[in-house]
Homo-oligomer: A and B are copies of this chain.
């Protein structure tokens, strides 16, 4: 298995040159496009790694399934479904998903920005600072890593420049779908996206989802199995933005990508996978990361189809 990972990384290293690091958040533009790392945690407890798997990056959109999980835990399925729909939008991740007809919660999706911003309002807490702290602690618990923390520089960079996300939030507000103050909700969202993790953290979180909510060592049930299925299903249909259909065919596992270069892959009952490779394609997905996952899936028969 270790040899397989090493071989895959060698094969896929050239693909890092086929993408570009995100630049719309100035701080992200500092990333090294040649980075490539992977961490795999299997249900038998064994783990394997290769490349720059220790390197830290911001979680960005990979936080969306975690936000969704916490919202489910805090509110139950019914409340979450009433606030944010589950259908694919057929559009890019930051799309102005509005037409001439009024915006409805059924048009939202927790895996794209507008829906994830709405999800922030469902996290419990007396302030948005407290909501973020609860999300951070939940992320630490899922990853089994108390040292996960906020990347202050990326957070501030995103806060300064996030005009598109502000537009999306004010749209939600103008359609009566955001009860609280736009800036405080966005502050929580920008912080959520700026949580700093590495490939191992993502693999650990993915493992809990693959294991239907049960932590590896403590055997503690961190969330009910039906929430794992909710989140895995929505990652399958929408986790790779408008490249999700292609990913389902080529890789065939629930996964979520982020513009920080991370991909979290969930192989139900079998393994959690964390990838880091910040050179992105034009849809915002890691180019080399998808290549590694496609090959891993083929050679180990990971596709759930």
| A198 is an interface residue with CB less than 8 A from chain B | no
* New A-B pairs, 14, CB < 8 Å, besides A86-B249, A163-B173: A88-B90, A88-B245, A96-B96, A99-B99, A163-B171, A164-B174, A166-B182, A229-B252, A232-B305, A233-B245, A233-B248, A233-B252, A233-B305, A237-B237
Q: Could you tell me the distance in whole angstroms from the C-beta of A238 to the nearest C-beta in chain B?
A: 7
A242, B237: Cα distance in complex, Å: 11
Copies in the complex: 4
Given contacts A87-B90, A90-B90, contact A170 B166 (CB under 8 A): yes
A interface residues (Cβ-Cβ under 8 A, vs B): 85-91, 95-96, 98-101, 109, 163-164, 166-168, 170-171, 173-174, 182, 228-230, 232-234, 236-238, 242-246, 248-249, 252, 254, 268, 303-305
Given contacts A248-B236, A305-B229, A305-B254, contact A88 B88 (CB under 8 A): yes
**What secondary structure prevails in chain A residues at the interface with B?**
helix
Residues of B within 8 A of A86 (CB): 245-246, 248-249
A252, B237: Cα distance in complex, Å: 11
A245, B237: Cα distance in complex, Å: 7
Tell which of B167, B230, B249 touches A174, judged by Cβ atoms closer than 8 Å.
B167
